[in-house]
Amino acid sequence: MIRYFLSLLLLKSILFGCSLCSIYTPKTHVSIQIKADKENIKTLKVNWVFANEFTKELLQIYDTNLDGTFSAKELAVIESYLVDYLVQKNFITTISYDKQINEKSNSFEIKDYKMSYQNSTLSFEYNIDLNYKIYDKNILYIKIIDDQNYFDIVFADKKQLIYIPYKISKTTNMNDVSFLIDAPTLLPKEENSKEEIVEEKIEIKETKEEKIVEKTQTVLEKFTNNIKKYLIDIQNGNTLALVFLLMASFIYGVIHAFGPGHGKALAFSYFSFQKSSFFEAFVISLVTAFIHIIGALAIVLFSVFILQSVLNRFMEDSILYITSFSALVIMLLAIYILYRKLSKKLCVCCSVDLKTTNFSLIPSNINFVKTASNKPVITPLRTKKQDLIFVITAGIIPCPGTVLLFVYAFLLKTYFAVVLASISISLGMAFVLFVSSFLGVSLNKASRKSTKLVNILEIASPIFMFILGLLLFLNANKL
């Protein structure tokens, strides 16, 4: 049993390793500094430090001048997208100050904010004026949590600081920190009391998760760097760069389609039991590849024009939902095809190949035509609706390379070049899909010589399609 389970996991990773590809939820370390005097809590400074891996992902997208760092202009773009998201959520910050912790936030106003990039670290800082009068035994409570799970907020105890001339008791959790103020010196005639200032040094220490690990560039990373370079050259008037862009895009489409994914396996299994011509296989492969980039375009257009940002969770969630829905439709289509096959096999009115069927007109005792000497081959007819369902479900999952292309189109304003590059990616993918379809059609034609082999293929292929859909669904939902 364990052997079969491990085989299932291995097959899943091989077939669907790149089905989901997007910027992941970044681990974000938060540090705060609170300043106060003897009477009032004055200000709150909040600093977010993003994980290095997330910063590298953003560099791939927003480093438009390819200098390996963020310029002021590039940081401004990222900052605008981030602030657009945070403003509508009150900077995902809750602040309360009372005798007990209150989950309902006090009203506050962001004084200023700034995105910065230093020593390969991307950070975001904002300041808030508090001006709370200090009372003995009051609790200052600060919580930062993203209910949309876009940012994974982490509070490290040593990085939550308060500078106040009173003794405090600090409690730090994953997403919040509270300070209980012990202020007996606020009583009259308490002139000689010692002022205790809580000052904890911020330790800059990278965790294992945050260390920059030099890895061999993936195909997508190499494609990203090359594409960005060519688009910048095109933007500067280099027409020859367009030729290299189209060549790189076609090669990426071929490599992407040859890599882990469900398109090839589906195409092969679909045409191995469907009676089709090579031309029909070519057309279906071509349309499937173009649907692949249309899905990516739709996601980016919705993000830019509806959500007004390319830095949002919609891209990640939409790919997840589309993949899961496509997987369910693939399973239903496989069940439908298998049902049609089994129902026709049980039906008396099955199709018969008249060219290979021998009849005898010699009268028998009951004067009826003699039964055919060979068994008929049952051939379920493929429908246009069935082809349409296959094309949409096999091609609708967005291509990660094309998603990046369309993002660059809006950042660099190179729309025409990106459209041509997307078409080139589709042609590369269509080539691989057609090879798989060609093999499926060839297997189907070869199997027609054997009735037994035909029946095996027409039953086994939809079962294999169902398994592919199930594995795709499991991978999409990370089960």
pLDDT of 210 reads: 42
pLDDT of 470 reads: 82
pLDDT of 221 reads: 67
DSSP of 227-294: HHHHHHHHHTT-THHHHHHHHHHHHHHHHHHHSS-SHHHHHHHHHHSS---HHHHHHHHHHHHHHHHH
pLDDT of 27 reads: 84
pTM over 0.75: no
Find out whether 229 and 245 touch, Cβ atoms under 8 Å: no
Q: Tokens standing for 341?
A: 């096959």
DSSP letter (8 states) at residue 84 = H
pLDDT of 280 reads: 87
Query: Alpha-carbon dihedral of residues 71, 76, 78, 80, nearest 10 degrees?
Result: 180
Find out whether 123 and 133 touch, Cβ atoms under 8 Å: no
Q: Looking up tokens 């039906």, which residue turns up? A: 347
d(CA 197, CA 219): 54
pLDDT along the chain (479 residues), means of 10: 36 35 67 93 95 84 84 89 86 94 91 92 94 92 88 92 93 94 64 42 43 48 76 84 89 76 70 80 86 79 65 61 75 80 59 50 49 48 71 71 77 84 88 87 80 75 78 66
DSSP, collapsed to helix, strand or coil, labels residue 181 as: strand
pLDDT of 317 reads: 66
Q: Tokens standing for 180?
A: 């209980």
d(CA 123, CA 125): 7
Q: How far is CA 294 from CA 331, 400, 422, in A?
A: 23, 12, 9
- Correct CATH for 27-186 of 2.60.40, 2.30.30, 1.10.3470, 2.70.170: 2.70.170
Spatial CA neighbour of 179 closest among 244, 130, 224: 130
Find out whether 58 and 68 touch, Cβ atoms under 8 Å: no
Spatial CA neighbour of 151 closest among 29, 30, 26: 26
pLDDT of 261 reads: 53
Burial of 409 from C-beta contacts in 10 A (0-12 / 13-18 / 19+): buried
Burial of 462 from C-beta contacts in 10 A (0-12 / 13-18 / 19+): buried
Give the start-to-end residue ranges of the domains of the chain. Answer: 27-186, 221-347+377-476
